[in-house]
Amino acid sequence: MNTLLTALPENERTRLSAHLETVALAAGQVLYEPDEPISHVYFPDGAVLSLLAMDDSGDAIEVGTIGNEGTSGLALFNGMDAAPQQCLSQVPGAARRLAGEEFSREIPEMPVLQALLHRYSQCFFNDVAQSVACNQMHSIEQRCARWLLMTHDRVEGNEFTLTQEFLSYMLGTRRASVTVAAGTLQKAGMIKYSRGSVNILDRPKLEAAACDCYQVIERRKMKWQEEAS
């Protein structure tokens, strides 16, 4: 279940649920484009979302990941009707969504959700900042292990969909480099990576291969979830 929704008191959850619908998101499904109106807010409940920063040539790099701990609605929460990033479904799965207009209209009437979103916003910013530092300081193999662990935490089971194209977005590197990094982890018996699918075979070894950034981000996420519960 989505942490934000389950943390709401009954009166706010009931009020918000009147506007929510459950949807199945496909891999690569675009939820909104850069600088275009955000039509819906998504609360992942199995799906994993990515925010991608894009340049004029269309090249992209992931700047944020959203799983069942959060929501895609921070831009609307902060009073904007659009965001400079593209948001898409990185891993397919379920999500609850509501229209952006409904979200903006209901927020002032829901003080607990407001407080949760303020704390989540700071947690999300901290994760983005940590990822920026990680991209500069650590090897592609360490970063790949970190990202796979973060995704594994947000899905059910040990297997999830992941193409080379998506992984290159996440790591901000060429597909050839992604192939080498994933191949290194696979040869070490940590993962099986084939035909756009990753299977986590040895999580302890994968944790040992990741940089310290994973533990930093994980501690913050656990603290956020404890505060929200």
pLDDT in tens, 163-174: 888 888 777 777
Q: How far apart are CA 79 and CA 24, in angstroms?
A: 27
Q: Is the dihedral angle over the CA atoms 143, 46, 84, 74 positive or is it negative?
A: negative
pLDDT in tens, 141-160: 999 999 899 999 988 889 99
Q: How far apart are CA 104 and CA 80, in angstroms?
A: 10
Q: How far apart are CA 94 and CA 78, in angstroms?
A: 25
pLDDT value of position 54: 82
pTM of the model: 0.90
Alpha helices in 138-174 (DSSP H): 140-154, 164-171
Q: How far apart are CA 210 and CA 196, in angstroms?
A: 21
pLDDT value of position 176: 77
Helix (H) or strand (E) holding 66: strand 60-66
Beta bridge partners, 64, equal: 51
pLDDT in tens, 68-125: 999 998 999 999 999 999 999 989 999 999 999 999 999 999 999 999 999 999 889 9
- The rounded percent of the chain whose pLDDT value lies above 70 is 98
- Please, what are the domains in the chain? 3-112 (2.60.120.10), 134-223 (1.10.10.10)
Q: How far apart are CA 31 and CA 87, in angstroms?
A: 5
Cα distances (angstroms) measured from residue 179 to each of 26, 37, 165, 174: 24, 36, 10, 9
Q: How far apart are CA 1 and CA 5, in angstroms?
A: 8
Q: Is the dihedral angle over the CA atoms 174, 180, 186, 192 positive or is it negative?
A: positive
Quick check: 127 and 216 in contact, CB under 8 A?
Answer: no
Q: Running DSSP on this structure, what letter comes out for residue 204?
A: H
